[in-house]
């Protein structure tokens, strides 16, 4: 399992850190625990979870657009910088 995870990480590239614990056994998998990650990376997990729940419940459509402004963009936001054609809005799918 660990080799598969590391192979996937190598395919993805970028900076990756993982901490997983099976609560019933206490078994842990830790990858790059010494690295420091900005909290912006961590907050994406529960937001995306909720977004996908809404997609499957048909409350949102992935093709729907959301608006954003300059104040929503923080340092190291290459995603927003890569959307010049849709300046000010992006699809929920792209989020």
The pLDDT tens digits for 31-79 are 988 888 777 667 788 888 999 899 999 999 999 988 877 777 766 666 6
Contact between residue 28 and residue 20 where contact means Cβ atoms under 8 Å apart: yes
Q: What is the pLDDT of residue 17?
A: 87
Dihedral sign for Cα atoms in the order 69, 73, 79, 82: positive
Partner residues linked to 91 by β-bridges: 65
- Determine how β-strand 28-31 pairs with β-strand 65-67: unpaired
- Maximal CA-CA distance, the chain: 50
User: What's the sign of the alpha-carbon dihedral 5, 10, 12, 18?
Assistant: positive
What is the structure's pLDDT at 85? 52
């Amino acid at each position: 399992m660990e080799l598969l995870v590391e192979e996937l990480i190598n395919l993805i590239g970028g900076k990756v850190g993982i901490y997983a614990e099976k609560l019933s056994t206490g078994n842990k998998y830790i990858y790059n625990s010494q690295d420091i990650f900005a909290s912006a990376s961590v907050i994406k997990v529960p937001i995306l979870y909720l977004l996908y729940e809404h997609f499957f419940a048909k409350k949102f459509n992935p093709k729907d657009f959301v608006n954003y402004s300059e104040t929503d963009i923080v340092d190291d936001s290459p995603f927003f910088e890569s959307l010049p054609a849709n300046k000010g809005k992006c699809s929920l799918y792209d989020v």
